[in-house]
């Protein structure tokens, strides 16, 4: 006589922790590395959890594994197990783990990097992985906990939070202006060399619209990396449409026409709902907000006219 195991038996806490790791990493291999297991064990644990719950907890997405509705329900229990285990080790730092962030180059360097330093002063077992990219918010956040994008995102099954605004201005190096002359008005910029993003590859509407005051200029150096924009402008490649918080740090750059060319763009944070329940992610978000508050004036640029007066 055979005995059939019915779904609905109590799931294993270990299996729930495996699900949590896969949900955060998006891949069995990455979860296996984090937990010190092999791929086969991860697959077996997930299968056992699905047998216990009576349904699928993961589904294949475009870039990895994503949670099913049943999986999202199970994640709440998994996070409870994780918290309970953390409370059993009072002598260790309260927070540990990896925060995975996708963000633009400028935000990653100027905001995110100092923020994780602040977190690690108190919680040295927390680390940050950054995927640096300039794109629209992904519809499926696989392999990342948090995304920072430019422009208001349109996403489903995700939380979107406005973080800050930053200013784009037109800059040129002192040497370039000495050679080429200082334009008297924005109208004189027609045909002048511009340093900015590659127009055909730009996926972010807000960054494309920010180029409006410079439409009559000619691309001289184009790149997907904003730090290339800054360095090319400093080298004299042309006029750079640059974030003020990056350009104003360089005394060899001069901001031109700050009254006429002063584009403000928003940074938005996008995250999976379960990420907002992760203590490590919450600590990092708090540190992001603190860093943004500390550098708000730099994000929005110098007082208007200060750069021209300094030339």
Q: Are strands 146-150 and 159-173 parallel, antiparallel or unpaired?
A: unpaired
Secondary structure E strands in 138-186: 146-150, 159-173
The answer to whether the CB of 252 falls within 8 A of the CB of 131 is no
Q: What is the pLDDT of residue 309?
A: 41
CA-CA distance, 258 to 302, in Å (whole number)?
Answer: 9
Identical fold, 13-87 and 164-265+299-310: no
- The alpha carbon dihedral of 267, 273, 278, 282 has a sign of positive
Nearest to 242 by CA among 134, 164, 133, 168: 168
Both tokens assigned to 94: 């309260």
Q: What tokens does 179 get?
A: 């050679």
Whether 277 contacts 24, CB under 8 Å: no
Q: How many CB atoms lie within 10 A of CB 22?
A: 28
Provide the pLDDT for residue 87.
67
Domains of the chain by residue range: 13-87, 96-158+271-296, 164-265+299-310
Q: Are 276 and 145 in contact (CB under 8 A)?
A: no
pLDDT at 136: 58
DSSP per-residue codes, 47-90: HHHHHHHTS-SEEE-SSSEEE-HHHHHHHHHHHHHHHHHHHT-T
Tell me the fold of 96-158+271-296.
Answer: D-Maltodextrin-Binding Protein; domain 2 (3.40.190)
Closest among 108, 72, 104 to 273, alpha carbons compared? 72
What's this model's pTM, rounded to 2 decimal places? 0.71
Q: What is the pLDDT of residue 4?
A: 41
Can you tell me whether residue 26 is helix, strand or coil?
coil
Tokens of 246: 């990056």
Annotate 215-260 with DSSP letters as a single string: TTSEEEEE-S-HHHHHHHHHTTSSEEEEEHHHHTT-TTEEEE-TTT
CATH topology of domain 164-265+299-310: D-Maltodextrin-Binding Protein; domain 2 (3.40.190)
Q: What are the pLDDT tens digits along the chain (311 aa)?
A: 344 444 457 888 888 888 888 887 788 888 888 788 888 889 899 898 988 888 998 888 766 788 888 888 888 888 788 777 776 665 555 788 889 899 999 999 999 999 999 999 989 989 999 988 766 555 554 567 899 999 888 776 778 899 999 999 999 999 999 999 999 999 999 999 999 998 877 777 888 888 899 999 999 999 999 999 999 999 999 999 999 999 999 999 999 999 999 999 999 999 877 777 788 899 999 999 999 999 999 999 966 444 444 44
Which numeric CATH code is attached to 13-87?
1.10.10.10
Cα–Cα distance for residue pair 42/187, rounded to 1 Å: 62
- Residue 82 is predicted with a pLDDT of 78
Report the pLDDT value the prediction gives residue 167, as an integer from 0 to 100: 96
CB atoms within 10 A of CB 150: 23
**Closest listed residue to residue 20, CA positions, set 270, 281, 268:** 281
Query: By C-alpha distance, which of 188, 186, 208, 207 is closest to 260?
Result: 186
The strand pair at 239-243 and 193-196 is best described as parallel
């Amino acid at each position: 006589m055979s005995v059939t195991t019915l779904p609905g038996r109590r799931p294993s806490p270990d299996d729930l922790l495996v699900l949590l790791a896969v949900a955060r990493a998006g891949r069995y291999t990455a979860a296996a590395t984090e937990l010190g297991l092999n791929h086969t064990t991860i697959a077996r644990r997930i299968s056992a959890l699905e047998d216990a719950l009576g349904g699928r907890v993961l589904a294949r997405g475009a870039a990895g594994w994503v949670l099913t509705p049943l999986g999202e329900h199970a994640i709440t229990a998994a996070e409870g197990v994780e918290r309970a285990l953390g409370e059993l080790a009072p002598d260790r730092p309260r927070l540990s783990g990896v925060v995975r962030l996708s963000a633009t180059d400028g935000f990653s360097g100027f905001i995110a990097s100092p923020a994780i330093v602040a977190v690690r002063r108190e919680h040295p077992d927390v680390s940050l992985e950054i995927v640096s990219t300039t794109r629209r918010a992904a519809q499926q956040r696989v392999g990342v906990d948090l995304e920072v994008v430019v422009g208001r995102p349109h996403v489903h099954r995700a939380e979107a939070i406005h973080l800050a605004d930053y200013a784009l201005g037109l800059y040129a190096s002192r040497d370039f202006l000495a050679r080429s002359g200082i334009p008297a008005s924005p109208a004189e910029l027609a045909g002048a060399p511009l340093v900015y993003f590659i127009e055909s590859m730009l996926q972010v509407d807000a960054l494309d619209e920010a180029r409006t005051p410079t439409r009559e200029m000619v691309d001289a150096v184009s790149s997907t990396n904003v730090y290339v924009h800054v360095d090319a402008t400093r080298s004299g490649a042309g006029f750079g449409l640059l974030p003020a918080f990056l350009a104003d740090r360089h005394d060899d750059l001069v901001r031109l026409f700050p009254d006429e060319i002063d584009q403000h763009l928003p940074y938005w944070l996008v995250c999976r709902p379960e990420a907002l329940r992760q203590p490590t992610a919450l600590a990092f978000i708090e540190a992001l907000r603190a860093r943004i508050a500390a550098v708000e004036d730099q994000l929005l640029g110098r007082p208007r006219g200060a750069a021209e007066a300094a030339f």
